[in-house]
Structure 1
Amino acid sequence: MSFLASFITSFATRFRMLLDGLVAPFQVAPAILTASGDGLKAKAATALKDPRVQRISLRLMRAFLPNLVLSKPLITAYPNTGTAIVTRYQDVVEVLDRNADFEVVYEPKMRAITGGENFFLGMQDTALYERDVANLRLAMRRDDVAAIVEPAARRLAEQLVAKQTNRIDVPKDLSQLVPTAIVTDYFGIAGAKNDDLIDWATMMFWYLFIDLAGDSTIASKALDAAASCRSAIDAAIASRKAEGVARDDVLGRCLVLQKANQPGMDDLGIRNYLIGLVIGAIPTISKASVQALDQLLDRPQALESAQAAARAGDDALLAAHVFEAFRFNPVNPVIYRRAACDATIASGSLRARKIPKGTMVLASNLSAMFDPLRMEAPESFRVDRPWGEYMLWGYGMHTCFGAHINRAVVPAILKPLLAKPGLRRAAGSAGRIDAGGTPFPQHFSVEWN
């Protein structure tokens, strides 16, 4: 009987997926036609910036074109010979697990950022990768999250919200400032202005991971930002050495390891580690906080439940609400890799496809988190999902190094806001995310009673 029930459930799920795929074009078309832009192509580009339109479009692909291979390159920032778009959960995981077949491509840009050396996010699975990851784990310990990082983030978030009367511009007055404090107080990069750190990190992240067209203006600004950031980190290292006082932060621990002659912990190596942490911390945490809050505000029942958890001090339940909301609009909808050889994915299935060497593979983590063949009731807002089903900060070997910090800090940032009575968007455009011409939220105002 259990076999029959499983068969019926599986058949119903697949049938529903096909129906959703058939309906998707009729749902996307009105969004494109009513979008701003001069011409259909411009309108489509505008519409596809909406995470809801992205999710609907991905239903069509999951149902009928789950592994689409094109001979045309869509990404021009890195050398490649074509494009593959992968949308099913199982296949996305396969791409991100097969590191030898599908390689990261960030190395040239990462070397430009550091001024010569690679950072491990741009490395393949090598001995150097293992050394650098191990070094940074010695300096940036897992138990620091609960003991140091989360309590400090929570206190600062409470102070920043308390300074406001009944309205706050979330990025400028809260979500950018908390991770910047992590950079200065926990990483140990003191001396630079907050606004400078935010601007540098934003430009470097944009250049490394988001600028897929190879925009020369973005590259120029990012490399200027990188040079300034390198100088600030060099100054912080020199200042700490001149003090001669040991501090228990990431920089201080790196210097202790340097005295012990740990390979990779010379001044240049420490600078490379720290610049990688700066890039990953500020834009990621701020964007995640804003987009999770934005999605909660679109769902009155989920918002009410999240606020009840915040007021009751149920941090686990609050976090479940925050990250389920974030699932609907993660930092990036795709994770990209390049085929290092001819490779076949989904072997043995009807959707098996050969990926030619040199093809850029867009593994859609957004689509994977809405795949009904893996996620139960994917379109529903659920706070009981297993954490392992989420792909919020990548997957596999190159999952964001600070994922554990992100998981603790994002709910801590939002908790004092969600505890406010009558929390709502500010009126008009102020209550909608304004990226200010960047890929990151620059303004987004909310109010409370």
Structure 2
Amino acid sequence: MTFLAEFDATADSPPAEVGVVIRWLRSDWSGMYAELRANRPILPTSAFTMITRATDVLAILAQPSLYSVRANRRSMDPSVGPFMLARDETHINWQEKGLMQALLRWEDLPRARALAGEVSRAAIARASEAGVATPSLDIVPAIARAVPLAIVQRFFGFDAPAEAMLRWSFATQHGMFRNAPFDGDVLARCHEAGAEMRAWLDPFLAGKRAAGSSGGDDTVSRLIEISSLPATGLSADRVLSNVCGLLVGAIETSSQAIVQIVDQFLAHDDWRAAALAADAEGDVAGFDAHVFEALRFNPITTIQFRHLEQDRVLGEGTSYATAAKAGTVLAVCTGSAMFDPALMPDPERFDATRLANSYLHFGMGHHECLGGHVARVSIPEAVRQILRLPGLARAAGGAGLIDFAGGPFPEHLTVTWSREDPAADAAPAARSRTAEPTA
């Protein structure tokens, strides 16, 4: 049965209707989106209205006043305080986003990449010490989460205990961005994690502030130093919220990207060979392009939600124009847009020469990911260290598949490699990009 046939059959049961959407997101999002782009580009449901064509997706993301992120305040504010990322085009966003962008310096990116490589190689070395002919490694805890954790601790300068940071990151990212269908317990855990995080950070930041200008070469130290200047108008509470944001946005998103990219390369030998050829030639930009093209086939999320601020005709001027009332929740399907020929010519073909700004992995425009430039170097570097392993293959059985353990983020994916014959490369069974949930 097609998606629309199944969806239309639930017209008298709103919960079942939304359930169909969620199930297809988790089983065959690409098939659902292809059908919607062709036959019903704007699909109202009882919970949200889905937007699937690239022209409409880009138009919505480019107009943050009309299509806002105000709904994020319910999850963000009790966790980290009134936060700029839930307040597009306000004075808080204008001041604090610009300040944080200045402190997250582009000239520091080689250091972030080096750190990602260091952490990844150390994890691989530890696994290799077992002395077996075929070492193995669960890349999720060892690399995918360890790399962004190190970025937050050592590059951003938010150096709380690792176990606590991972718990805070999981709960806040789940509650703020992956709580669909809505679960009150998930939101409560998000708020609890935020309170814990702020309770730890408050004396940590106060201590750094009392120590005066330390000249620390990390984002938090720079933020403390510049906030001491009255001209910034940045209170201690605002510093606290922005430091919390460094953790919330970094760990689980980067981890999921690393895991799903590696999974795609394990499923496509030719993609992996092309990426490694670029690496062998010293073409770092070329290698990175292969990484983000692979992520397009299973992105960390295929939807961004927006709140409609005024009555509006969506897709106005088209044959599928749809009236929508203020307050409507829009499911802006970025994953669908990245398979729309209007944005990505010949979208089913793997093409590492696509323009980098065509991808929507980090959002776009006013609400583009604040630390996206850091992720653009740390994610591919972690992937590169894994792909370089001789004879890289999936572990046998279920261990070699992504395991979400019933949650919103990858928890396990075990790979093996060979000590004996670097040219030996087990041929992994190809797997569809629809095997794991993305929403």
- Alignment TM class, shorter chain as reference: 0.7 to 0.9
Change (3 A) 1:441 1:132: same
**Alignment partners' CA distance in 2, 1:138 and 1:424:** 41
**Alignment partners' CA distance in 2, 1:421 and 1:397:** 42
Please show how residues 268-347 of structure 1 align to structure 2 within 5 Å: 268-347=237-316
**Alignment partners' CA distance in 2, 1:200 and 1:238:** 20
**Alignment partners' CA distance in 2, 1:368 and 1:151:** 33
Are 2:122 and 1:159 equivalent residues in the alignment? yes
Aligned to 1:132: 96
Equivalent of 2:36, from 45, 58, 61? 61
Change (3 A) 1:233 1:210: same
**Alignment partners' CA distance in 2, 1:299 and 1:26:** 27
How many equivalent pairs are there? 401
Q: Secondary structure at the match of 1:354?
A: strand
Q: Which runs of 5+ in 2 are unaligned?
A: 7-15, 129-134, 419-439
Are 2:2 and 1:25 equivalent residues in the alignment? yes
Equivalent of 2:75, from 106, 109, 123? 109
Equivalent pair of 1:139/1:254 in contact (CA under 8 Å): yes
Aligned to 1:85: 50
Aligned to 1:239: 207
**Alignment partners' CA distance in 1, 2:410 and 2:152:** 19
TM-score (norm 1): 0.84
Aligned to 2:370: 401
> What's the CA shift for 1:27?
12
> What's the CA shift for 1:47?
5.4
> What's the CA shift for 1:128?
2.0
Change (3 A) 1:328 1:28: farther
Are 2:60 and 1:95 equivalent residues in the alignment? yes
Equivalent pair of 1:308/1:419 in contact (CA under 8 Å): no
Letter aligned with residue 134 of structure 1: G
Equivalent of 2:152, from 183, 192, 215? 183
Equivalent pair of 2:88/2:367 in contact (CA under 8 Å): no
Are 2:327 and 1:358 equivalent residues in the alignment? yes
> What's the CA shift for 1:198?
1.1
**Alignment partners' CA distance in 1, 2:18 and 2:183:** 20
Change (3 A) 1:368 1:310: same
**Alignment partners' CA distance in 2, 1:86 and 1:224:** 33
Equivalent of 1:375, from 327, 339, 344? 344
The alignment-based identity, stated in percent, is: 29
TM-score (norm 2): 0.86
> What's the CA shift for 1:87?
0.5
> What's the CA shift for 1:267?
2.1
Change (3 A) 1:102 1:41: closer
Aligned to 2:426: none
User: Which deviations, in whole Å up to 9, do the C-alpha atoms of 1:174-216 show, x marking residues without a partner?
Assistant: 11111111111122122x2212211110110100111033312
> What's the CA shift for 1:286?
0.5
Q: Secondary structure at the match of 2:362?
A: coil
Equivalent pair of 1:310/1:418 in contact (CA under 8 Å): no
Q: Secondary structure at the match of 1:422?
A: coil
Aligned to 1:18: none
**Bigger shift: 308-317 or 101-110?**
308-317
Equivalent of 2:190, from 198, 222, 236? 222
Aligned to 2:9: none
**Alignment partners' CA distance in 2, 1:418 and 1:321:** 12
